[in-house]
Homo-oligomer: A and B are copies of this chain.
Amino acid sequence: MSPGWLCIAGLGPGDEAMRTPEVAQALDQATDVVGYIPYVARVAPREGLRLHPSDNRQEIARAQAALAMAAAGRRVVVVSSGDPGVFAMASAVFEALEAAPAWQQLDIRVLPGITAMLAAAARAGAPLGHDFCAINLSDNLKPAATIEARVRAAAGADFAMAFYNPRSASRPDGFARILALLREACEPQRLLVFARAVGTPEERLRTVTLAEARPEMADMRTVVLVGNAATRRVGRFVYTPRAAL
């Protein structure tokens, strides 16, 4: 039996043109691909490759299943959209590994990918061209008060920001509160980019001022970029200068 391994790999935002060669190679060598249903659907089926799609919020069970397969000699790729280390499967795999010391000697590698905020920023211009924060607005795993304190701290120190998971059907109001909080801390002309499904056929980018921003401009497939106080438009682009105000 050949030795098993586990790669925790980022597929990038959608388009295969943004998927790195090392991730493509891991998928070519894999016997098993594990992940959230829509991400596993982005891997081309082939003879000898077993696909194991699973539902959202099954992250720990999925990580355990992947580790068990690698321990049994399979070559396993856990796929995330974007980068696996940014609000994705890498932390879930290490949580599962912490609980199972016997698996800690396995051959485990994390393969980075183009994360949603950087794909969105590239499409928009360079809105994250100065110091910035990445904040997951989902309150599945942290209190809303923590999220709000971080947005307030980031705005107070004039970071640009990228919001992941800004809004879902199960929490339609949280993002409205974040916008209200930004309106207290920032000027009405502050620029926001709502970038939906970047790198897919449904891609849509919209740049608005904070005064114009509405909660319903975001959904589960949107990443929201918030400029800093110096962020501005140049032609059809949005960018943040390299110098601080």
Evaluate contact between A126 and B239: CB separation under 8 angstroms: no
Q: Are B84 and A110 in contact (CB under 8 A)?
A: no
Instruction: Judge whether A240 and B123 touch: CB under 8 Å.
Output: no
Set B98, B104, B114: member contacting A114, Cβ < 8 A? B114
Which residues of A (164-194) have their CB < 8 Å from a CB of B?
Answer: none
Residue of B with least CB distance to A238: B94
Q: Is the CB of A19 within 8 A of B17?
A: no
Would you call A220 an interface residue if the criterion is a C-beta within 8 Å of the partner chain's C-beta atoms?
no
Chain B hits for A18, CB < 8 A: 20-22, 112
Q: Complex formed: what's the CA distance from A242 to B59 in Å?
A: 11
Residue of B nearest to A96 (CB): B234
User: Does A86 interact with chain B (Cβ within 8 Å)?
Assistant: yes
**Which one of A40-48, A150-158, A210-218 is at the interface?**
A150-158
Residues from chain B with Cβ under 8 Å of A122 in the complex: 83-85, 90, 109-112
What does DSSP make chain A's interface, helix, strand, loop or mixed?
mixed
The answer to whether A141 and B242 have CB atoms under 8 Å apart is yes
Q: Which residues of chain A from 71 to 98 have a CB within 8 Å of any chain B CB?
A: 83-88, 90-95, 97-98
Contact of A128 among B15, B86, B129 (CB under 8 A): B86
Chain A 15-43, CB within 8 Å of chain B: the 1/0 string?
11111111001000000000000000000
29 inter-chain pairs at a CB distance below 8 angstroms, sorted by A residue, are A12-B20, A16-B21, A17-B22, A18-B21, A83-B122, A85-B128, A85-B129, A86-B118, A87-B129, A87-B130, A87-B242, A90-B239, A91-B241, A94-B237, A95-B241, A111-B122, A112-B122, A113-B114, A131-B135, A133-B159, A134-B134, A141-B242, A141-B243, A142-B243, A142-B244, A146-B158, A150-B157, A153-B154, A153-B157
Known: A85-B128, A93-B126, A101-B235. 15 other contacts (CB 8 A): A12-B20, A19-B21, A20-B114, A83-B122, A86-B118, A90-B239, A94-B237, A95-B239, A104-B234, A112-B114, A112-B119, A131-B136, A146-B158, A150-B157, A153-B154
